[in-house]
Structure 1
Amino acid sequence: MTPSHSADTSDLELLRAHVDGDPEAFGVLFGRHRDRLWAVALRTMGNPEDAADGLQDGLIAAFRRAGSFRGDAAVTTWLHRVVVNACLDRLRAAKVRAADPLPDDLDERESRGSLRTATAASLDPAELSVADERRRTVLAALQTLPEEQRAALVLVDMEGYAMADVAQMLDCAVGTVKSRCSRGRARLAGLLTDRLAALDADPTGGTTSGPGDAGLGNRPAGRPVPSQDPPRGPPASP
């Protein structure tokens, strides 16, 4: 953080400084929210390459449109809205449907809502193997959802944002977010019930938690787990 931008400098002050021509303010602002913006882009897009492109599109849009920020939401909510919309635009244009491999970065990090329900230290190798496979199964199923449902579930169930905040990010009513989450969860349940049950009966003898613990719908809204390690791969700020 530069001397002119201390930890006490608010997000709004940084955004206004950027609009007024401060060449460093936007970079400081992005640095504050980099982890969560990257996590949302990664889960929405499904792989690091597309996530980097979506995040870059969003950051460029935010950089250029900062003057249009109306102040009717928190700056971080506005940033997420711009990045999510950029990712959804890419998904719609490319007609992406669960064809890309899951990023290893997601599996390695517990902190960004990674679906991990137990630490490696608490699991024997067989249990850890089953837990990893369960996580991959859930994430792969997530990529089959329609883009709007996927974005809502990523923001609410995996990132822990409140419904009202997600409604602002997605520019829709709270009821719409609830409906998208409900339909998405129902669709995931249909896809995952048999698959996760089969993993629970893994012949290695490892025991895992039930399908409801796979990472969707368990974290209280607005209470995400704080990041501990920076993610790998997101692009630099514009």
Structure 2
Amino acid sequence: MRDSTGEPPQGGPDPSDEVLVARVRLGDQSAFDMLIERFQTKVYNLAFRQLENAEDAADLTQEAFMRIYRGLDSFQGGSTLSTWIYRVVHNLCLDEIKKRRRRPQIVRDPSDPDEGGDSLVERLGDGGETPEEGVLADERRLAVHAAVARLRRHHREVIQLYDLDGYSYNEVAEILDTNVGTIKSRLNRARIALVKELEKDRHLFFE
């Protein structure tokens, strides 16, 4: 049940993305603040994974939300709001990468717990039932962090979007502005590339 303003009762479920978008279009700044709170961490993590620089990612996050605010009228609901936002951020990251292409890139430390975001290492299994298995699991996580960081950008991003963030083929294709067949092919090549990288630590994975 909603009150006369159309809001859910206090203590009720949070408004959906669609409701917040509608309220923003009516000039409700608090609704946009709620969207920022809802997506800020995901936007920052995406920017950081692509730019590999915390300061650049923070700056781009601010720019992304300004772009999102100005562009909400163009969001037609043909995809989920998160997919649309992901594409906005991805395109901004591409612009930034083009600007700094000739500058040397800093590779993040895969052992740093503050680097943020879900990563492939989280999908490698449990920590093990014994201390020895726990140590092995930690070593595997570090190895995968390093292997993913060494992949080409196109391989990194498709693994992140499909395998880690859980987007569908169609959503990944929309975010990356390509077709589903290309995404499937790129994902297959990315997984092969990742396995090859992990062979450098084959004693952790293949024996």
Same fold at TM > 0.5:
yes
Aligned match of 1:150: 156
Tell me if the contact between 1:102 and 1:140 (Cα under 8 Å) persists in the aligned partners: no
Say which of 15, 20, 29 aligns to 1:9.
Answer: 15
Quote the Cα distance in structure 2 between the aligned partners of 1:122 and 1:93. 48
Aligned match of 2:3: none
Quote the Cα distance in structure 2 between the aligned partners of 1:33 and 1:133. 27
Task: Give the gaps of 5 or more residues in structure 1.
Answer: 201-207, 212-238
Aligned match of 2:144: 135
Once the 2 structures are TM-superposed, how far is the Cα of residue 93 of structure 1 from its aligned partner? 2.0
Aligned match of 1:160: 166
Once the 2 structures are TM-superposed, how far is the Cα of residue 82 of structure 1 from its aligned partner? 0.9
Once the 2 structures are TM-superposed, how far is the Cα of residue 193 of structure 1 from its aligned partner? 4.1
Which one has the largest radius of gyration? 2
Say which of 61, 72, 96 aligns to 1:66.
Answer: 72
Quote the Cα distance in structure 2 between the aligned partners of 1:32 and 1:120. 33
Aligned match of 2:187: 181
3-state SS of paired residue (1:115): helix
Once the 2 structures are TM-superposed, how far is the Cα of residue 114 of structure 1 from its aligned partner? 4.6
Quote the Cα distance in structure 2 between the aligned partners of 1:100 and 1:32. 28
Give every structure 1 segment of 4 or more consecutive aligned residues whose post-TM-superposition deviation is greater than 6 Å.
none
Task: Give the gaps of 5 or more residues in structure 2.
Answer: 1-5
Give the paired residue count: 194
The amino acid that maps onto 1:119 is G
Tell me if the contact between 2:144 and 2:198 (Cα under 8 Å) persists in the aligned partners: no
The amino acid that maps onto 2:78 is D
The amino acid that maps onto 2:40 is R
Quote the Cα distance in structure 2 between the aligned partners of 1:107 and 1:128. 19
Tell me if the contact between 1:40 and 1:159 (Cα under 8 Å) persists in the aligned partners: no
Counting only pairs closer than 5 Å after superposition, residues 12-27 of structure 1 correspond to structure 2 as 12-27=18-33
Seen in structure 2, the aligned counterparts of structure 1 residues 84 and 193 have a Cα distance that, compared at 3 Å, is same
Tell me if the contact between 1:113 and 1:159 (Cα under 8 Å) persists in the aligned partners: no
Once the 2 structures are TM-superposed, how far is the Cα of residue 108 of structure 1 from its aligned partner? 7.6
Quote the Cα distance in structure 1 between the aligned partners of 2:128 and 2:48. 23
1:210-235, Cα deviation, whole Å (9 max, x unpaired): 49xxxxxxxxxxxxxxxxxxxxxxxx
Seen in structure 2, the aligned counterparts of structure 1 residues 18 and 28 have a Cα distance that, compared at 3 Å, is same
Tell me if the contact between 2:47 and 2:93 (Cα under 8 Å) persists in the aligned partners: yes
1:53 aligns with 2:63: no
Once the 2 structures are TM-superposed, how far is the Cα of residue 120 of structure 1 from its aligned partner? 7.6
Quote the Cα distance in structure 2 between the aligned partners of 1:65 and 1:108. 27
Say which of 109, 128, 150 aligns to 1:102.
Answer: 109
The amino acid that maps onto 1:188 is L
Scaled by the length of structure 2, the TM-score of the pair is: 0.77
Seen in structure 2, the aligned counterparts of structure 1 residues 75 and 136 have a Cα distance that, compared at 3 Å, is closer
Once the 2 structures are TM-superposed, how far is the Cα of residue 156 of structure 1 from its aligned partner? 0.9
Tell me if the contact between 2:149 and 2:156 (Cα under 8 Å) persists in the aligned partners: no
3-state SS of paired residue (1:73): coil
1:119 aligns with 2:127: yes
The amino acid that maps onto 1:58 is A
Tell me if the contact between 1:102 and 1:139 (Cα under 8 Å) persists in the aligned partners: no
Once the 2 structures are TM-superposed, how far is the Cα of residue 164 of structure 1 from its aligned partner? 1.1
Of Structure 1 and Structure 2, which has the larger fraction of its residues in helix? 2
3-state SS of paired residue (1:64): helix
1:196 aligns with 2:201: yes
Q: CA RMSD in A?
A: 3.0
1:169-197, Cα deviation, whole Å (9 max, x unpaired): 2222111222222233333334x144222
Quote the Cα distance in structure 1 between the aligned partners of 2:130 and 2:205. 13
